[in-house]
Structures are given as structure tokens and as C-alpha cells.
Structure 1
Amino acid sequence: MTVNLITISELANIFEINQHTIRHYEEKGLLAPAEVSENGYRKYGLTEAYKLSFVLFLRELGLSLSEINELLESGSKIDYTKVLMERKLKIQEEKHRLDMLSQMVDEQIHLTTKIKEKTYDVKSPIRLKCLVRKQITENLTILDLLESGLKKEIFLGRVYYIIYENFYDVCIENKDGKAFEIDSGRYGMTVIEVNNEVELNYELEKILLLQELPLITIEDNERFLSSGERLTLKVLGAQR
């Protein structure tokens, strides 16, 4: 009997895997114990530990068990080098994808700021045409837009919400519009980003503590990930 061997449980603990994984590798011919005792206990030495480490490394690279088996059977350094070069290319591609994803996450984290102070420049007077007038307690629906006679333009262009005490007007820019006119100049601006009507009302109530009616709010089609689930509104303040 060979000394200085460890059990399958001890080997599994070293590599932080379960015993079933080791047995599965043995069934696939990727690993074999150094010895099996009369009572069926598997024993492993340093050679088996190195081989298991190699198999786990190849699995981390994304090789299937059959691919690992072929590589072990060939024992070719040329084949191994080829595999490493192929996997390195895939890792670089994945790294690029993750870098892009990380950048998107950073942008979305930035958008989670509820209120941000900015300015809004109006280069020339903007005349607005009212599409729909709603009571302040009523929500805008898709039927309202359908009845207004406007189609995709409402989603592609800039939409203005002019909020009064008891009602609000949903408007678009129109050179002949008579509903409202925004003078040219630089305005203070608060950006609010909300997920539902409750959040919207809460944010508007905070702004109304500092500003007088009517409120000029602008939707620039910045819906969260273009899904329509998140609403971004720019609320114009006093001219500066």
C-alpha cells in the first residue's frame, strides 16, 4: 500500500469541488485514483492532483469533457498550444463584451440619480400645438394619442406637457401652434426619472414647492432602454 495518499473527500476539499465531480471525471476516463483499497476507498497522490488541476483548468477555458479527453490522449504540445491560442482569442472577445457591458452599467448607474440640476437652451421661440387636454387626476393613455390623430410622431419627436392647476396639455412643436409658446433663452432645468405615476406625482410636487404654474415639462424620448418602462422628463425653471 502506497503511503502519503489522500481520500477523495480531501482531494475535493483542496479544489473546492464536490466528490461527484471527481467520480464523473473518472467515469469519463479523465482521472484515475492512485489506488483503490480492498474496501473500495479511493486514494489520490500528487500526480492525480496535478492531473485534476489540469482538467479543471481546461474546463474553465470552456472545453468539453470529450475535447479534454482527446487532448490528454494525444499528449501533443502542438495541439495544446493551438487550444490555448483559440481560447485566448475567445477570452479577449469576451473581455471586450464585458467591457462594453460594464460601460452600459456605468451609464445606467448614472441615470439612477433622481434629480439633476442643468440648463436648457431655447434658441428661438417654440410654438406648441395641443393634442390632448387631460384633467390633472387623469393619466394619459394610448387611446388618447390615437384619438388625437397623431401616429408614430408622438413617439419619435419631443413631447411637451404643460401642467396647470387642474389640467395639463400634451403638446408637440408646430409653427402654427397656439396652445403655448416658450420664449427663447436659457432656462434652469430639473431632470426627473420615474418608473410610474406615483413617483412622477411625488417629484412634481417637490418641484411645485419651488416653482409657479404652469410647469413646462419635456419628454425627449429617453425611455429606459427604449422599453417605455422608465420616463425621463425635463422640467423648465425660470429664465437665467
Structure 2
Amino acid sequence: MSKIYKGYINIFSISFTELIIMSKYFSIGEVASLYNLSVQTLRHYDKLGLLKPSLVKDSGYRYYSLEQFYKLDLIRFYKKLGLSLLEIKELISNKVTINDVVELLEAQEDEIDNQIKMLQKQKKSIKNKNKYIKSMISKPLGTVFLNKKAKKRIIKVKLEDESLEDAEVSFRKALNEFPKLNDPLTLELAYEINYEEFEEKEIVKYNSYFIVIEDKIDDDRIKVSEIEEGLYASIIYLDYYINNKKYINHLLDFIETENLSIESPLYESCIGSELYNDREKSFMEIFIKVNKNN
């Protein structure tokens, strides 16, 4: 038999043997295609020790057996439940009973219910914020108008110093102490202006600030008050903050001209500095409760 013929037999024999062995395995590309995954994902699973290939040849090629299909099904199942890859690795590494799976499903069901509640609450906050902003910016800017306001629950904080700078600092400290209040979607801040001092000296000083709240607050450290419902004289403007005196005077002149009596402190509220691209400008509202004299 010629050497060349013997060589062909040897080559065929090796290829046939490998073919029999490799028929039990699937390449990384085949598995990726079957599971609609990327090859990089399977390599990542291997690196984590989550799903190691059954066979790695000297060439570096990875091959997977049918047992890996079962593990991949488990990985997909647990990922769909919202578990992290590390959590899945721990589950797969341990013996998990059917009762364990039932408990896991119940726990994830509760978690989803909680997420739904949070999303519903967030949606309500977004809806209320949108409604509030749209109602404010629809009003004529720089013009005093009368409007009825609903009662608002507030957390009122007395100021030790009457400057705005100190009020801002104390406000930030309060938010750090009570993080539940620090939600940009629901946060509504206002200041109570010392009306008598403004009338006398035209100086804006603040008696207190307050945070408007929607939810019930179960904390003995927080004293909840309210802004009364009723008729208010308001002025909304978009301007630099330092110009607030001008708008306070417009408001007080209107009250005097219309022969209205004042029934509350003078309030200043920021509708939203985020609504304008000039960081120094804000949509502001100054309002005070009034009563029509007979």
C-alpha cells in the first residue's frame, strides 16, 4: 500500500473519530443562534462561571452539550423573573426544589406588585406636576388675578435667620434629614414673607418656609400644617429673583385698588426654574389670601 494512500486513510480515520465526538456538541455560534444570544454573552457567562462549555479544544473553540441547553433555559427563566446573573449562578449551583421555585415566584410577584404601586404613584405625581405647571403658565404673566386655591398640607419650618440664603441652607438640611420629602416630581417649596416689614420698609424678609406634601407623614419630628383654601390674589412672573419687590408691590396695589382685605401671610412660591434655560430666572408666584369687602 502506498504511503500516500495510507496517509489518506489516517486523515479520514481521525476526521471520522472527531466527527463522532463532535456530533454530541454544539459550537458557541450554534448555541448563540439557537437562543438568539450573542457569542459575547455566552463568553460572559463562561467568565462568570455561570455556564461553562462542556468542551474547550486546544484551539480555544468552545462546545456545548445538551446539558447546557437545560442550564440556559434556567438562566432565561430566572432572568425573566428579574434576578441578577450572580443570583442565578447561586441558584444553579445549589440544589433547588420545586417548593423553592414556588417561593421565589411568590416573592417576585410581591416585588412586581410593589413596583406597580410605585409606578402608579410616580405617574400620579407626574400628572399632578404637569397639571400644576400648565395651569400656572396659562395665566397672564405679570398681571394680578384672583383665584380660588384648594387647601394644601404643608410642613412649615420657622426660620432663625430671615435671609433667603439661610432659608435655602436650612431647607436643604431638612431634605437630607427627611429624604422621603426630596422627590423632584412632588417637591413644592414656598416662603412666607414678613408682610408688615415689607409694608414698612419694602424689605423682603422671610418668617418661614414650607414644603407642600401629598402623602401622610408618619414622623413625630415633622409638624404638619396647612395653607387654607379660599380666594387668593396672585401674580405670576418670569423674571430674575432680585426683582421680586416689583411684583409684590403690583400685588399690594391691586388689593388696595380692589378694596380687598388681607386674610393670610404673603407667600412666594417657585413654580419651576427648570422651565427656563436661564438659571437665574424662574417662574414665580406671589399670592395672599384675600376677602372681598362689602
TM-score (norm 1): 0.50
CA drift at 1:31: 1.8
Structure 1, unaligned runs of 5 or more: 123-127, 133-143, 185-217, 236-240
Equivalences for 1:157-236 in 2 at 5 Å? 160-161=234-235, 168-170=246-248, 180-182=256-258, 221=269, 223-224=271-272, 231=283, 233=285
1:131 correspondence with 2:198: yes
List per-residue Cα deviations over 1:53-78 (Å, max 9, x = no partner). 32133234343445323422303112
CA drift at 1:234: 9.0
List per-residue Cα deviations over 1:77-127 (Å, max 9, x = no partner). 1222212211221121111111211222233344454426998359xxxxx
List per-residue Cα deviations over 1:213-240 (Å, max 9, x = no partner). xxxxx97736349xx98525499xxxxx
List per-residue Cα deviations over 1:176-232 (Å, max 9, x = no partner). x99724357xxxxxxxxxxxxxxxxxxxxxxxxxxxxxxxxx97736349xx98525
Q: What is the distance in 1 between the residues matched to 2:110 and 2:127? A: 26
The structure with more helix, counted as a fraction of residues? 2
Q: Which residue of 1 aligns with 2:110?
A: 89
Q: What is the distance in 1 between the residues matched to 2:57 and 2:258? A: 89
Cα 1:25–1:98, aligned 2, differ >3 Å: closer, same or farther? same
SS of the equivalent of 2:198 reads strand
CA drift at 1:13: 5.2
For 2:59, the aligned partner's letter is N
Whether contact under 8 Å (1:35, 1:44) holds in the other structure is yes
Structure 2, unaligned runs of 5 or more: 1-20, 150-194, 213-226, 238-244, 261-265, 274-279, 288-294
Whether contact under 8 Å (1:129, 1:172) holds in the other structure is no
CA RMSD of aligned residues (A): 5.1
TM-score (norm 2): 0.43
CA drift at 1:42: 1.6
Q: What is the distance in 2 between the residues matched to 1:162 and 1:24? A: 57
Q: Which residue of 1 aligns with 2:147?
A: 120
Q: Which residue of 1 aligns with 2:74?
A: 54
Q: Between the two proteins, what is the percent identity of the paired residues?
A: 20
Q: 1:42 aligns with which of 48, 58, 62?
A: 62
SS of the equivalent of 1:40 reads coil
Whether contact under 8 Å (2:54, 2:63) holds in the other structure is yes
Whether contact under 8 Å (1:33, 1:44) holds in the other structure is yes
Equivalences for 1:7-86 in 2 at 5 Å? 7-12=27-32, 15=35, 17-37=37-57, 39-44=59-64, 47-72=67-92, 73-86=94-107
Whether contact under 8 Å (1:159, 1:219) holds in the other structure is no
Count, aligned residues: 180
1:104 correspondence with 2:125: yes
Q: Which residue of 1 aligns with 2:164?
A: none
Cα 1:179–1:120, aligned 2, differ >3 Å: closer, same or farther? closer
